[in-house]
Amino acid sequence: MTSPASLPLTGLYDSHMHTPLCGHAVGHPREYAQAALDAGLAGVTFTDHIPMPAWYDAPWRMQQGELEQYVDMVQEAQAEFAGRLHVGLGLEADFHPGTERYVEEVLAAHPWDYVIGSVHYIGAWGFDNPEFVDEYERRDLGQLYRHYYALVEGAARSGLFDAVGHLDLPKKFGHHDPGTAVALRALDTVAALGLSLDYNTAGERKPVAEAYPSPALLDAAAARGIGLVLGSDAHQPAEVGYHFAPAAERILLAGGRLVQYAGRVRRG
């Protein structure tokens, strides 16, 4: 067996990665870009965690005053790798009801290539934070997923985002959705509104050991014609292109369509 890491990833883009500005990632953007080039990728898009209102989870994201620095850093990498690697400027935005206008202002401030809409909170609970994993024991999983996918549909309907981030994220620590009905309804909404899905290999590094979305939801997304945007969700340069060769193969076998974004326009 050839190790997936040694396969050339020629032509692929990694459209989900972070920078140290979010406070929980390491490595300068130039190191992420170099890692992508070394892996044979054709391009990367930085999608660091968007600034949010001050009362939101400040330790987990760049502050509003750091946005210019973020844009400058990514544009420097863009210039440095010009002609060798496409470098895009994006954001991973949070969808949290009530913050839409704030997000809209940030999105209007710079020429973004790609904006992911992610749900990281159910109410005040950061359900993907390992510190708060005990909370799952107090929740009914069916209800949790109903609530979660209602938020995902809200993200899709908000019109703010190009793609939905890590679709089935509440499974991160192994708490799988007991059914598929609410997930499939969310995919219907995503398809109807023309959004894409972040095909996020970070799940393979987590206890669930499975990409977001699951194989069954990948099939359902492909059947609905939903575009899939490959992303490693790298928080360090070594994670760029993580498990991309098997991921790309899985997507193609499912009949899925790989896409990426530039200037917030879908390509591919």
Residue span 231-260 as binding mask against Zn ion, x where in contact by CB under 5 A, dash where not:
--x---------------------------
Q: Which amino acid is at 7?
A: L
Query: Which of positions 206-235 make contact with Fe ion (CB under 5 A)?
Result: 233
Helices (H), the chain: 29-39, 67-80, 100-109, 141-157, 181-192, 215-223, 244-253
Quick one: 153 or 233, whose CB is closer to Zn ion? 233
Distance in Å, CB of 8 to Zn ion, minimum: 26
The terminus-to-terminus CA distance of the chain in angstroms comes to 30
Q: Which does 201 bind (CB under 5 to 8 A by kind): Zn ion, Fe ion, none?
A: none
Out of 50, 81, 92, 240, name the contact with Fe ion by CB under 5 A.
92
Quick one: 78 or 118, whose CB is closer to Fe ion? 118
Q: Which stretch binds Zn ion (CB under 5 A): 61-69, 96-104, 187-195, 226-234?
A: 226-234
Beta strands 86-94 and 43-49 are parallel
* 168 φ/ψ angles, rounded to the nearest 5 degrees: -100, 45
Q: Give every CB contact of residue 87 below 8 A, 6+ residues apart in sequence.
A: 29, 33, 43, 44, 45, 46, 74, 77, 78, 81
Out of 15, 34, 78, 118, name the contact with Fe ion by CB under 5 A.
118
- Residues near Fe ion (CB under 5 A): 92, 118, 233
